[in-house]
């Protein structure tokens, strides 16, 4: 066991090994009507931890996944969606699905002591909630106690430091960010008004293993009546799993990775709009994508490299430089990553290496 | 070992007690008192949760942060300390986030904010950064890097804001610009002191700005009015720079080599690049050893490719620039004096200026043993002679005007002494005074 043992996770795992049974009985999921939130996650009646697994507390709390998730220090993530009974989300080809008021999304973040050993229990750090009320989205995260029996609202966020062994067998020292309410909004303002980022058709258009069998998520949501207007999955857009070499070309996977990890800020309305660098997969203007684009306000973040993206020359490109750093003011994304995503860096490096053309 | 997380966790618990079952968006105007005995987590909660029209009062003392401090984006917040030397926000131990004190307002909102009477020190990135405000008042705020080895790019940095007033403030040591207003509209920057930055003050890609009453000394360059391609807002115009002091800006350029300011030679009083309608008057330029003041195109600074195409509306050539009634003293005496690092981009323009001293009997070279006080790159991309873009300079005391004709410059065999001309006749002219920028109602 390669825990540093210096902080929370080791003791938490011991606690999990000892108990971790269901903490609550039957409940009815809360349908929010305003921006208020209870202090305990249990009062939402969406998910709980049962034997170390994130478990839905009602049959209409539906688990889902995204083809390419945001890298969050290598956290394992579990997501759920619940719309009020009798309502449905409206399909949208490009933006987030049109969820109705009363929708609750959850996303739980956890780690194994050794990510290579899937038999190990997952220590869950937090469960983040988004809910829609009166036409507006709201955010709060709930921090799990070490025993995994209760999660309480953490509006101010927290930095949680621990070590774990990643999927490559490398011991990583994480300073994992449990975001404050405001930090949630910083990333979730992709289109100005705060909104979900992940649940878009192009990220959802993939299979999920449901208890009753594997099914495409768009098809499943349509079949159970929580999504209307969706085309056949074959006719819906799809971005590949960046981590899966068989899922698409290097270019397709690299663009998917950049959108998932950068595009929510680097968009024309997002938090990094001032840069003019837009990294959504749909961007076609070369300079907006960073090709031969000089840095403006990067300062030391540019690392002396001339362009955001220099075709054929990853070592002269600022994007992989900032992805490879954990130094504040250099590292990108600015928040939510304290460990270098070596696989992401490798993918972007491979893509840039193969891009034709030059600058000047 | 007393681990910082333990302390954070304790502070968080206190914050939670205060916030339990609170409202995320509501709340009425109120006053929030902050003092240095509070944990970082509690302070971060107070800043991020501040309600509309609330005032955050920060008692005197030094506050230590390990993360960026993010301010709520609710309308009408005031963040107020006990004075620029009394309330210190110290980020020297910062390990998370990029900048110091940050307010990132989502696009499409109208949010007013006031910052006053405190200092931000040793932030990893920018000191105070505000994105997207409308009615931004920064008064008696200081940004500096007294102990951090690698300084952040900007000290005081409103960007994509409207109605900005930065006054009575200071910035020292920024590795790009001390007070930088970017992609904004309706701006007053007055009565500030900026020192030891690469650029003291910069107005970039902005509309309607007044820069006045500032003391900009011992930077690499006193001020810049730049318009850069490929940004969401381009077409900088209507900028007045008047009654300022730009003296002894001779600090060797320590900007990251990839940034635009890295191109500026140490010893530059001020420069404008691109922009339309700029009026420079009543200023004192003294002791800047490379050049008093320059008017250049994007082409001269960044090259033709970087300045072409890009965002619609971008104009690479400066026009309607009126430089008058300034005082020039002892500028341009030795362009290479403080530009000795040949590996740094700033060396190139320093060497260019130095090549204007008479090298042969064939060219005129700089007059009177110093680089002329008002220099113009003279690049006319569509040809033409005379003064097609209305660059006017007059009543600048004994200061000379020079057209450097950089379209004829040979970078391989620097020949400025042979191509520059001092025929002022086409450039001694006047332009209508630009309107004053109304001080934003704040």
Express each pLDDT in A341-351 by its tens digit.
Answer: 999 999 999 99
pLDDT at residue A1 is higher than 90: no
State the Cα–Cα distance between residues A287 and A313, nearest whole angstrom: 16
Q: Give the mean pLDDT of A214-232.
A: 98
Check: CB of residue A288 under 8 Å from CB of residue A266: no
Report the half-sphere exposure of A242 (CA within 13 A, side-chain side): 26
Pairwise CB contact (< 8 Å): A328 & B260: no
pLDDT at residue B2 is higher than 50: no
Pairwise CB contact (< 8 Å): B258 & A298: yes
Contacts with A156 from chain B: Cβ below 8 Å: 12, 15-16, 19, 41-42, 44-45, 48-49
pLDDT tens digit sequence for B224-246 = 999 999 999 999 999 999 999 99
Parallel, antiparallel or unpaired: strands A104-111 and A89-90: unpaired
Measured in degrees and rounded to the nearest 5, phi and psi for residue B423 equal -75, 95
pLDDT at residue A146 is higher than 60: yes
Give the global pTM: 0.90
Check: CB of residue A81 under 8 Å from CB of residue A226: yes
Give the model's pLDDT for residue B361: 54
pLDDT at residue A243 is higher than 60: yes
B216 assigned to some structural domain:
no
User: Looking at the partner chain, which of B8, B175, B256 has a beta carbon nearest the beta carbon of A159?
Assistant: B8
Pairwise CB contact (< 8 Å): A180 & B48: yes
pLDDT tens digit sequence for B45-72 = 899 989 999 999 999 999 999 989 999 9
**Closest approach of chain A CAs to the CA of B48, in angstroms?**
6
Pairwise CB contact (< 8 Å): B20 & A186: no
User: Looking at the partner chain, which of A6, A273, A305 has a beta carbon nearest the beta carbon of B258?
Assistant: A305
Helix H or strand E encompassing B40: helix B40-48
Please tell me whether residue A77 adopts helix, strand or coil conformation.
Answer: strand
Structurally, chain B folds into a number of domains equal to: 1
pLDDT tens digit sequence for A246-286 = 999 999 999 999 999 999 999 999 999 999 999 999 999 99
Q: Where does the pLDDT of residue B25 fall: very low under 50, low under 70, confident under 90, or very high at 90 and above?
A: very low
Structure tokens at A36: 């208020």
Q: What is the Cα A317 distance to its own chain's centre?
A: 25
pLDDT at residue A157 is higher than 60: yes
pLDDT at residue A14 is higher than 60: no
pLDDT tens digit sequence for A20-51 = 344 456 899 999 999 999 999 999 999 999 98
Give the model's pLDDT for residue A117: 97
DSSP character string of A291-328:
BTPPPSS-GGGGTT-SBSB-TT-GGGBHHHHHHT--ST
Percent of chain A with pLDDT over 70: 93
State the Cα–Cα distance between residues B238 and B163, nearest whole angstrom: 14
Q: Tell me which DSSP letter residue A260 carries.
A: I
Give the model's pLDDT for residue B7: 35
Pairwise CB contact (< 8 Å): B232 & A276: yes
B406 assigned to some structural domain:
yes
Give the model's pLDDT for residue B358: 82
Helix H or strand E encompassing A110: strand A104-111
Give the CA angle between residues B21, B25, B27 to the nearest 5°.
80
B73-107: burial string, b at 16+ Cβ within 10 Å, e else? bbbbbbbbbeebeebbbbbeebbbbbbbbbbbbbb
B79 assigned to some structural domain:
no
Pairwise CB contact (< 8 Å): B258 & A334: no
State the Cα–Cα distance between residues B120 and B389, nearest whole angstrom: 42
CA quadruple A327, A329, A333, A336: dihedral sign: positive
B107 assigned to some structural domain:
no
List the helix and strand counts (H, then E) for chain B. 6, 31
**Closest approach of chain A CAs to the CA of B366, in angstroms?**
32
Parallel, antiparallel or unpaired: strands B237-242 and B276-281: parallel
Q: Rounded to whole angstroms, what are the CA distances from B133 to A192, A217, A317, B126, B210?
A: 14, 40, 31, 17, 18
Pairwise CB contact (< 8 Å): B256 & A299: yes
Least confident segment among A325-339, B305-319, B356-370: B356-370
Give the model's pLDDT for residue B383: 82
Q: Would you call B313 an interface residue with chain A, using a CB distance cutoff of 8 Å?
A: no
Contacts with A128 from chain B: Cβ below 8 Å: none
Residue A165 forms beta bridges with which residues?
A: A114, A171
Is ipTM strictly over 0.95? no
Structure tokens at A48: 């709980």
Alpha helices, DSSP H, located in A138-294: 181-187, 201-204, 217-223, 250-258
List the helix and strand counts (H, then E) for chain A. 7, 14
Pairwise CB contact (< 8 Å): A182 & B70: yes
Residue of A nearest to B234 (CA): A276
Structure tokens at A50: 């049962």
Domain that holds residue B403: 229-442
A vs B, Cβ pairs < 8 A, gives 211
Check: CB of residue A315 under 8 Å from CB of residue A350: no
Parallel, antiparallel or unpaired: strands A227-228 and A89-90: parallel
User: Looking at the partner chain, which of B20, B125, B159 has a beta carbon nearest the beta carbon of A328?
Assistant: B125
State the Cα–Cα distance between residues B107 and B133, nearest whole angstrom: 9
Interface of B with A in 149-168 (CB under 8 A): 150, 152-154, 157, 159-160
Q: Tell me which DSSP letter residue B101 carries.
A: E
pLDDT at residue B129 is higher than 60: yes
Q: For an interface test with A, which of B48, B69, B145 has the most A Cβ atoms less than 10 Å from its Cβ?
A: B48
Pairwise CB contact (< 8 Å): B153 & A299: yes
pLDDT tens digit sequence for A58-115 = 999 999 999 999 999 999 999 999 999 999 999 999 999 999 999 999 999 999 999 9
List of residues 6+ apart from B183 with CB closer than 8 A: A274, B159, B160, B204, B205, B206, B231, B232, B233
How deeply is A101 buried, as exposed, middle or buried, from its count of CB atoms within 10 A (0-12, 13-18, 19+)?
Answer: middle
Pairwise CB contact (< 8 Å): A7 & B150: no
pLDDT at residue A11 is higher than 80: no
Contacts with B108 from chain A: Cβ below 8 Å: 192-193, 269
Report the half-sphere exposure of B297 (CA within 13 A, side-chain side): 25
Contacts with A155 from chain B: Cβ below 8 Å: 15-16, 19, 22, 24, 45, 48-49
Q: Mean pLDDT over all residues of chain A?
A: 92
Structure tokens at A287: 């300079």
**Closest approach of chain A CAs to the CA of B110, in angstroms?**
12
Contacts with B48 from chain A: Cβ below 8 Å: 155-157, 180-183
B159 assigned to some structural domain:
no
State the Cα–Cα distance between residues B71 and B100, nearest whole angstrom: 11
Q: For an interface test with A, which of B15, B50, B65, B107 has the most A Cβ atoms less than 10 Å from its Cβ?
A: B107
State the Cα–Cα distance between residues B156 and B178, nearest whole angstrom: 6
Residue of A nearest to B99 (CA): A329
Residue predicted with more confidence, B304 or B137: B137
Pairwise CB contact (< 8 Å): B48 & A155: yes
pLDDT at residue A235 is higher than 70: yes
Give the model's pLDDT for residue A4: 36
Least confident segment among A253-267, B20-34, B204-218: B20-34
Q: For an interface test with B, which of A38, A137, A154, A156 has the most B Cβ atoms less than 10 Å from its Cβ?
A: A156
Q: Where does the pLDDT of residue B29 fall: very low under 50, low under 70, confident under 90, or very high at 90 and above?
A: low
Q: Would you call B197 an interface residue with chain A, using a CB distance cutoff of 8 Å?
A: no
Q: For an interface test with B, which of A178, A275, A299, A310 has the most B Cβ atoms less than 10 Å from its Cβ?
A: A299
Q: Give the mean pLDDT of B111-138.
A: 97
pLDDT tens digit sequence for B393-410 = 999 988 889 999 999 999
Q: Where does the pLDDT of residue B423 fall: very low under 50, low under 70, confident under 90, or very high at 90 and above?
A: confident
Measured in degrees and rounded to the nearest 5, phi and psi for residue A63 equal -70, 150
B91 assigned to some structural domain:
no
pLDDT tens digit sequence for B68-120 = 999 999 999 999 999 999 999 999 999 888 899 999 999 989 999 999 999 99
User: Looking at the partner chain, which of B42, B157, B306 has a beta carbon nearest the beta carbon of A294?
Assistant: B306
Q: Give the mean pLDDT of B115-141.
A: 97
Is the peptide bond preceding residue B32 cis, with omega within 30 degrees of 0?
Answer: no
Give the model's pLDDT for residue B18: 37
Please tell me whether residue A247 adopts helix, strand or coil conformation.
Answer: coil
Nearest C-alpha neighbor of B241 from the set B266, B216, B220, B274: B216
The gap between the terminal CA atoms of chain A, to the nearest Å, is 52
Q: Give the mean pLDDT of A176-200.
A: 92
Pairwise CB contact (< 8 Å): A138 & B99: no
Dihedral Cα B205, B208, B214, B216, nearest 10 deg: 20
Size of chain B in residues = 442
pLDDT tens digit sequence for B159-180 = 999 999 999 999 999 999 999 9
Residue B294 forms beta bridges with which residues?
A: B271, B375
């Amino acid at each position: 066991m390669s825990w540093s043992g210096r902080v929370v996770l080791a003791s938490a795992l011991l606690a999990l090994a000892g108990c971790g049974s269901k903490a609550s009985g039957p409940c009815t999921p809360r349908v929010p009507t305003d921006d208020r939130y209870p202090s305990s996650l249990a009062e939402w009646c969406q998910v709980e931890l049962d034997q170390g697994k994130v478990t839905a507390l009602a049959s209409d709390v539906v688990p889902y996944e995204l083809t390419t998730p945001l890298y969050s220090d290598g956290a394992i993530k579990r997501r759920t969606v619940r719309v009020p009974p009798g309502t449905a989300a409206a399909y949208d080809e490009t933006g987030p699905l049109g969820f109705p008021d009363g929708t609750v999304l959850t996303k739980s973040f956890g780690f194994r002591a050794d990510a290579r050993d899937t038999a190990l229990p997952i220590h869950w750090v937090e469960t983040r909630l988004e809910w829609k009320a009166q036409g507006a989205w709201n955010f709060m995260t709930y921090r799990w106690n070490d025993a995994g029996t209760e999660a309480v609202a953490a509006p101010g966020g927290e930095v949680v430091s621990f070590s774990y062994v990643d999927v490559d067998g490398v011991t990583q020292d994480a300073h994992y960010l449990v975001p404050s309410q405001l930090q949630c909004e910083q990333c979730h303002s992709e289109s100005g008004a705060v909104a979900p980022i992940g649940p878009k058709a192009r990220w959802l258009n993939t299979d999920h293993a449901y208890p009753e069998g594997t099914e495409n998520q768009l098809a499943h949501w349509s079949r159970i009546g929580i999504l209307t207007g969706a085309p056949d999955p074959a006719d819906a857009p799809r971005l590949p799993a960046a981590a899966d070499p068989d899922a698409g070309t290097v270019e397709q996977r690299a663009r998917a990775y950049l959108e998932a990890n950068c595009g929510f800020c680097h968009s024309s309305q997002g938090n990094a709009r001032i840069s003019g660098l837009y990294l959504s997969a749909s961007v076609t203007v070369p300079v907006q994508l960073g090709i031969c684009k000089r840095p403006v306000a990067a300062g030391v973040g540019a690392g002396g490299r001339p362009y955001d993206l220099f075709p054929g020359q990853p070592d002269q490109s600022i994007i992989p430089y900032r992805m490879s750093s954990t130094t504040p003011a250099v590292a990108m994304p600015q928040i939510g990553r304290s460990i270098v995503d070596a696989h992401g860096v490798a993918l972007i490096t491979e893509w840039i290496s193969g891009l034709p053309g030059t600058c000047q | 070992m007393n681990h910082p997380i333990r302390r954070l966790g304790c502070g968080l618990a206190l914050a939670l007690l205060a916030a339990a079952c609170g409202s995320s968006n509501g709340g009425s105007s109120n006053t929030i008192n902050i003092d240095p005995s509070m944990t970082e987590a509690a302070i971060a909660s107070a800043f991020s949760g501040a309600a509309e029209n609330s005032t955050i009062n920060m008692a005197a003392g030094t506050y230590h942060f390990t993360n960026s401090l993010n301010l709520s984006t609710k309308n009408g917040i005031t963040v107020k300390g006990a004075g620029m030397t009394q309330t210190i926000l110290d980020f020297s131990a910062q390990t998370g986030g990029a900048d110091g004190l940050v307010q990132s307002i989502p696009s499409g909102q109208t949010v007013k904010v006031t910052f006053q009477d405190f200092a931000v020190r040793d932030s990893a990135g920018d000191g105070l950064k505000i994105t997207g405000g409308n009615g931004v008042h920064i008064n008696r705020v200081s940004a500096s890097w007294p102990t951090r080895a690698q300084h952040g790019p900007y000290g005081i940095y409103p960007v994509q804001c409207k109605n900005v007033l930065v006054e009575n403030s200071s910035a020292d040591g920024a590795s790009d610009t001390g007070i930088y207003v970017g992609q904004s509209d309706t701006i007053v920057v007055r009565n500030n002191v900026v020192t030891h930055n690469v650029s003291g003050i910069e107005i970039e890609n902005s509309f309607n700005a007044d820069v006045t009453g500032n003391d900009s000394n011992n930077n690499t360059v006193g001020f810049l009015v730049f318009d850069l391609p490929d940004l969401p807002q381009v077409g900088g115009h209507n900028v007045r720079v008047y009654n300022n002091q730009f003296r002894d800006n001779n600090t060797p350029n320590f900007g990251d080599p990839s940034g635009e300011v890295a191109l500026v030679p140490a010893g530059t009083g001020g420069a404008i690049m691109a922009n339309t309608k700029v009026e420079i008057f009543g200023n004192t330029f003294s002791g800047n050893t490379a050049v008093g003041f320059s008017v250049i195109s994007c082409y001269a600074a960044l090259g033709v490719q970087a300045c072409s195409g890009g965002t619609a509306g971008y104009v690479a050539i400066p026009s309607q620039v009126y430089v008058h009634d300034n005082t020039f003293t002892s500028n341009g005496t030795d362009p290479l004096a403080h530009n000795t690092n040949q590996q740094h981009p700033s060396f190139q323009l320093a060497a260019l200026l130095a090549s204007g001293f008479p090298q042969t009997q064939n060219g005129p070279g700089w007059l009177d043993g110093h680089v002329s006080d008002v220099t113009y790159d003279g690049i006319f991309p569509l040809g033409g002679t005379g003064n097609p873009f209305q660059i006017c300079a007059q009543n600048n005391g004994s200061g000379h005007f020079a057209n450097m004709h950089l379209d004829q410059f040979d970078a391989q065999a620097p020949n400025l002494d042979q191509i520059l001309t001092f025929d002022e006749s086409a450039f001694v002219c006047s332009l209508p005074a630009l309107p004053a920028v109304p001080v934003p109602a704040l």
